[in-house]
Amino acid sequence: MALPPSAAPRSAYPADVVPAPVRRRLLELAASETPLSAYLYDGEAAARRARQLRAALPPWAAVHYAVKANSFPGVVRALAPHVDGFEVASRSELELALAALRERDGGPAAGAAPVPVVAAGPAKSVPVLTALVRAGVEAINAESLLELHRVSRIAVAEGTTARVTLRVNPVDIPVTGSLSMGGTASQFGVPEPDVPEVLGEALRLPGLDVTGFHIHAASNNLDADAQAAYLRWCVEWAAKAAATHGVDLRTVDIGGGIGVAFEEPAGERPFDVARFDELAGDVEPPPGVKVILEPGRFLVADCGWYAAEVTDVKHSYGTAFAVLRGGINHFQLPTSWELVHNIAVLPVERWPEGLPRPGAAGERVTVVGELCTPEDTLLRDVLVDRVRAGDLVVFPYAGSYGWEFAMHSFLGHPVAERHLL
């Protein structure tokens, strides 16, 4: 694990980059005697982003929210009316998705319509697969021949038919991102050269309905042109493969991959939804084929803020440190992704009488956590107007892969609270 890159010459965000309702709520939470370390989520912000993407897509496209990005029940419920379904990777995520869909739809749909949930993951266990088959999900994205056999055996035992797509790791892909899961050696999916053999056996297995293909090749792509080209490529590849191997193609799942610009001051630009809409509209899937997108980070990154109280400010050999009640045990993203994730400082005037109140003003500060390791560093060398012990440090764009991605148990400190605005 490397430290985040230096933020120099950046300055911390002004406090008003945090919306006023969020500032008020965080200061209310900070009024407790217990030092604050919490996530605050705005469900409407996530819903607004989902509506924007859904409205931009053609009728043949479906948006399934990737629950892994933020599994807070309030966020999942807020998204449910504005997405077509969910993507899950565990039984707990499946239960969250099913509960949100029941609340949205008022109970199971009439008839034999599949539940609008797709499932992925390279090591689905028999209990996970059994839960997915019993739930009647729209697609189990099968990662291997063994997994297809397991699904088949479960479906036959349950007296049902399971809908599956074959996850493919293609030889070449026309898109890149911060994480690559295709076009290279990977634990994800079936290598493209092995597809004919695996698909041939899948089509012979009892209890399976092979509906298409899943290709999730890269994450955090900010280029709308490249993402649209990738969508087109997935559709064309799936149509050709289906025709070659006798698959009744109904599903093409292109995964997630739409990125979030964490470092706009450094030149990153937000994903251009309008441009993606324009280019996606030119794609023509075969009649009756649904193209599924699985956005996660894109829908929820800007709906969350991680805030932690500064427990101390220290100067050591020319470096100022703001020490938080929190750290990578609560918010590991900046360190694990090696990115500059900027902050805002919310002043807190309340302070115990008689205690010294150390601070730093007009200087570069490194923001660290409470863990006994130098790796617990969230931001380095950011210029602050002022930060004092007792103030709040707030990380915007913390709605995705924040609480879910952290090292909760290391040292045994209390986990970060989670609140819905």
pLDDT exceeds 60 at position 181: no
Strand partners, 177: none
- Beta 162-169 vs 190-191: how paired, if at all? parallel
CB 327 within 8 A of CB 353: no
* The residue type at 201: E
Categorize the per-residue pLDDT at 187 as very low, low, confident or very high, splitting at 50, 70 and 90: confident
Quick one: CA torsion of 233, 234, 235, 239, rounded to 10 degrees?
100
Categorize the per-residue pLDDT at 267 as very low, low, confident or very high, splitting at 50, 70 and 90: low
pLDDT exceeds 60 at position 280: yes
Q: Which backbone phi and psi does 20 adopt, to 5 degrees?
A: -55, -45
Categorize the per-residue pLDDT at 33 as very low, low, confident or very high, splitting at 50, 70 and 90: confident
Buried b / exposed e along 139-161 (16+ C-beta atoms within 10 A)? bbbbbbbebbebbbbbbbeeeeb
Give the pLDDT score at 201.
Answer: 96
Structural domains of the chain, ranges and CATH numbers in brackets: 15-41+302-420 (2.40.37.10), 43-301 (3.20.20.10)
Cα separation, 272 vs 235, in Å, equals 21
Give the pLDDT score at 178.
Answer: 44
Give the pLDDT score at 321.
Answer: 98
Give the pLDDT score at 61.
Answer: 96
Cα separation, 415 vs 417, in Å, equals 6
Cα separation, 331 vs 378, in Å, equals 8
Which 3 state secondary structure label does DSSP give 64?
strand
Cα separation, 328 vs 305, in Å, equals 15
Q: Catalytic residue at 234? A: no
How does pLDDT run across 115-136, given as a tens digit for each residue? 999 999 999 999 999 999 999 9
Cα separation, 319 vs 304, in Å, equals 30
Q: Which of 31, 112, 185, 372 is catalytic?
A: 372
Neighbouring residues of 412: CB distance < 8 A, sequence distance ≥ 6: none
Give the range among 102-116, 138-152, 302-316, 375-389 with minimum mean pLDDT: 102-116
